Amino acid sequence: MAENICFFNKDTLILKPPKKSPLLLRMAVLMFAMVCSVYICSICVKQLNTHTRARFLRVRIADCPELSIGLTKVPREHYPRPKTFSRAECFNNPVRFFAIVSMQRSGSGWFESLLNSHVNVSSNGEVFSVLDRRRNITTIVQTLDRIYNLDWLNSASKNQCSAAVGFKWMLNQGLMQHHEEIAEYFNRRGVSTIFLFRRNLLRRVVSVLANSYDRYAKMLNGTHKSHVHSLEEANALSKYKPVINSTSLISELEGMEATISKSLEYFGNTRHLILYYEDIINNRTKLKDVQEFLNLPPMELKSRQVKIHKGHLSDHIKNWEDVKATLNGTVYEHLLHADY
């Protein structure tokens, strides 16, 4: 091409290469920048996810909404045909299935007594506290079938006219070991999960230690009671102040958090509701939310149970100064002051 040839003299001929397109160069730079951006973003997302998972439960306990309902809003209706009795005129009345998932000394006994005060609710206690019923997944499923077929009869049973039937299931009673099969059962049978935990896990530690002590001390006239129905009994039990192992306290709190976090992960794909003991005490409208969750006719729910450990935690821990020194300056410091 004429524009690419330059003559300097008669004997020298120099050819200039054609100019490279600036458009191609810009596109190459743009593509390189895009690839780098995607790579950097992927690294950031991975780090963010790791950090979020590590702090998942702590955020949920401290800052989560007061009421959390997962998945479908309307519970599935069932029409059981029990083998042990006839539902008679209630044969065509629908029944909802539920399970209260909790930990010992988290207010589940009090909460269940409130539910059982409803004329149409049958909650059957800690069914799987008996080892033989949770020995393997086969015995667990057989027990669940009896409960939800209304063939599990006890003092809480409303028999033919129950509109909701369920029980309490503690995390250490086979639930976590067989979580995949149980979650599948809940989804297949339409069982609604009610998670109930405590925000202040330090109070749970106090309650666990005091209850464990009374199993052997039997402070109420030689009788052990996990729950009481009078102020006199509550005051008698609250006189015992446990000594908390401050050396292992933080790891114990972390262990409880990890267990709760796993349960929420394992059963988060079921229809569920997340409640906290303190929230129910502070706001009794939460009980209306529970009744709505189970699609029950609303009633005023009552319980005869009396709280044992009232007042500030310093009144119920013998080595309070040691515990305070251990938790001050940590992520658990707020447990020293949180009250209701």
pLDDT tens digits, 149-176: 999 987 766 666 789 999 999 999 999 9
Q: Which residues touch 43 (CB under 8 Å, ≥6 apart)? A: none
Q: How do strand 272-276 and strand 68-70 relate by DSSP bridges?
A: antiparallel
Per residue in 214-237, pLDDT (tens digit) is 999 999 999 999 999 999 999 999
Q: Residue 17: is its pLDDT beyond 60?
A: no
Per residue in 128-150, pLDDT (tens digit) is 999 999 999 999 999 999 999 99
3-state secondary structure (DSSP) of residue 6:
strand
The confidence band for 90, taking pLDDT boundaries of 50, 70 and 90, is confident
The confidence band for 88, taking pLDDT boundaries of 50, 70 and 90, is confident
Mean pLDDT of 191-209: 97
* Helix 249-266 vs helix 320-327: crossing angle, to nearest 10: 60
Alpha-carbon distance of 216 to 45, in angstroms, equals 52
Minimum mean pLDDT range among 37-41, 62-66, 204-208, 250-254? 62-66
268 vs 339 pLDDT, higher one: 268
Question: Residue 52's CB: how many other CB atoms inside 10 A?
Answer: 10
Query: Residue ranges per domain, the chain?
Result: 75-336
Whether 93 and 161 have beta carbons less than 8 Å apart is answered as: yes
Q: Residue 248: is its pLDDT beyond 80?
A: yes
- pTM of the full predicted structure? 0.79
Q: What is the CATH number of domain 75-336?
A: 3.40.50
Minimum mean pLDDT range among 36-50, 51-65, 294-308? 51-65
The confidence band for 325, taking pLDDT boundaries of 50, 70 and 90, is very high
Whether 101 and 262 have beta carbons less than 8 Å apart is answered as: no
Alpha-carbon distance of 321 to 314, in angstroms, equals 9
Tracing tokens 């042990």 back to the chain, one arrives at: 84
Whether 230 and 306 have beta carbons less than 8 Å apart is answered as: yes
Of all residues in the chain, the percent with pLDDT exceeding 90 is: 70
| pLDDT, position 5 | 44
CA-to-CA dists, residue 98 to 92, 138, 225, angstroms: 19, 20, 27
| pLDDT, position 89 | 85
- If we measure between CA atoms, which residue out of 145, 104, 136 comes closest to residue 260? 104
- The H or E element spanning position 18 is none
**Mean pLDDT for the chain overall:** 85
* Helix 22-54 vs helix 56-63: crossing angle, to nearest 10: 70
